[in-house]
Structure 1
Amino acid sequence: MATLLHIDSSAFPGEASSSRSVADAFRKAWEEQHPQGTVIYRDVAANPVPHITADAWSAGFTAPSERTPEQSAAFAAREKLIEELEQADAVLIGAPMHNYSIPSTLKAWLDNVIMVGRTSGENPSAKGTPVTVVASRGGSYAPGTPREGNEFVQNYLEAVLKGMLGLDVDFIVPELTLAPRNPAMSELVPLYEASRERALEDAATKAKELAERLAA
């Protein structure tokens, strides 16, 4: 049966997080299509993975028999994350925009799973795996908006997930998530609500379509 790797990184819990809410809608639709499937879930905000260290990095370029005890221990934790990615039939990532970029906890996960000669390079080990990214943001950074030039989440993740890991990347983008909380954005609440509803619908639709594609 199919395996979904689900990564959440929002600092906000539950319904307070748009990326978590939309990712949950995707996961629910996925599980309906794969009731006997497996979901590997990592909440890197609640349980951060280790930031990459010199031992964890250098171990990837050192033969197992020649690694120091420190390298072996650091690489064991890193390899578990890599294996989860390699074993997944599909990946779901909640990636809210934090100060124009992704959360540091998500960056730490990426630094661990990107390994030249294995997950990246000429023949990435997870090449072609579909990944759906819920890239929520407090404002709008769409083409033509004043802050278009500050959109570093999709650009970065496209380069890393597709360019380095060779994954098949698709985005769902809930916008204006700060509108209900920021009085200065009150006029934008209807646009936020429309964006959220569209994102929830997209999540369910994309999950079902992906499930059908993998089953074909």
Structure 2
Amino acid sequence: MATLLHIDSSVFPGKASSSRSVADVFRRAWEEQHPEGAVIYRDVAADPVPHITAAAHTAWYAAPSERTPEQSAAFAARVKLIEELEQADAVLIGAPMYNYSIPSTLKAWLDNVILLGRTSGESLSAQGTPVIVVASRGGSYAPGAPREGFEFVLNYLEVVLKGSLGLDVDFIVPELTMAPRVPAMSALVPLYEASRERALADAAAKAKELAERLAE
């Protein structure tokens, strides 16, 4: 039975969010391919995970019998998130760009699951797990775009997810999502619509491709 870990982080609900809309297409296509499968879902915008505290960090370096009650509780919450990642056959992450980077709630989730000596470092307990990231953004930060140098989502997540956790990362990037709502961007609406259609098609195709790969 295949398990998908689905993380959403957009502050906007449902179809008001481009990352949620595209991720939903992937998830529905995934579920069609895995009718008996399981989905672990976390909406870290609606239900944020705890930010890393000193207790959560230091607990890993103390023997279980020597941990304070605060350390034990904080670390147990962290381990639950780590186990969800380790148990997943695939991961789906909605990562909209906010002020040139990822939402702080998604960063908090990453800080919890990156644990040197277990999920990162010499021991990579989720190594090779495929992860699809829906990295939506209001403008364009593609090579050659005026704000190309302001892109701190794809490069950051590539380093963290692939470099630190050893995951197999692939991106879907819907761009210009602010065009329908910002008058100054109205001329870019056709480009936004084309980007959205590509992203939706990519989401469905990648879900099917991934299902076929995992079935081999």
Pick the TM interval, shorter chain. Answer: over 0.9
Size of the alignment, in residue pairs? 216
The 5-angstrom pairing of residues 1-216 of structure 1 reads 1-216=1-216
CA distance in 1, matches of 2:204, 2:47: 27
Unaligned runs of 5+ residues in structure 2 are none
Which residue identity is paired with 2:140? S
TM-superposed deviation, 1:167: 0.2
Cα deviation per residue 1:111-142 (whole Å; 9 max; x = unaligned)?
00000000000121000000000000000000
Provide the TM-score with structure 2 as the length reference: 0.99
Indicate the SS of the match to 1:191. Answer: helix
Indicate the SS of the match to 2:77. Answer: helix
CA distance in 1, matches of 2:149, 2:193: 24
Cα deviation per residue 1:53-105 (whole Å; 9 max; x = unaligned)?
00001111112111111100000111000000000000000000000000000
Indicate the SS of the match to 1:60. Answer: helix
Indicate the SS of the match to 1:127. Answer: coil
Identity %: 85
Cα deviation per residue 1:142-179 (whole Å; 9 max; x = unaligned)?
00111000000000000000000000000000000000
Which residue identity is paired with 2:39? V
CA distance in 2, matches of 1:10, 1:214: 28
CA distance in 2, matches of 1:135, 1:170: 10
Provide the TM-score with structure 1 as the length reference: 0.99
CA distance in 2, matches of 1:201, 1:61: 45
CA distance in 1, matches of 2:107, 2:174: 20
Which residue identity is paired with 1:26? F
TM-superposed deviation, 1:212: 0.4
Q: Which runs of 4+ in 1 moved over 3 A?
A: none
Cα deviation per residue 1:17-37 (whole Å; 9 max; x = unaligned)?
000000000000000000000
Unaligned runs of 5+ residues in structure 1 are none
Indicate the SS of the match to 2:61. Answer: coil
Cα deviation per residue 1:6-54 (whole Å; 9 max; x = unaligned)?
0000000000000000000000000000000000000000000000000
CA distance in 2, matches of 1:7, 1:39: 10
CA distance in 2, matches of 1:66, 1:9: 35
CA distance in 2, matches of 1:105, 1:151: 19
Which residue identity is paired with 2:139? G
CA distance in 2, matches of 1:93, 1:10: 10
Which residue identity is paired with 1:212? E
CA distance in 2, matches of 1:96, 1:104: 11
CA distance in 2, matches of 1:109, 1:174: 23
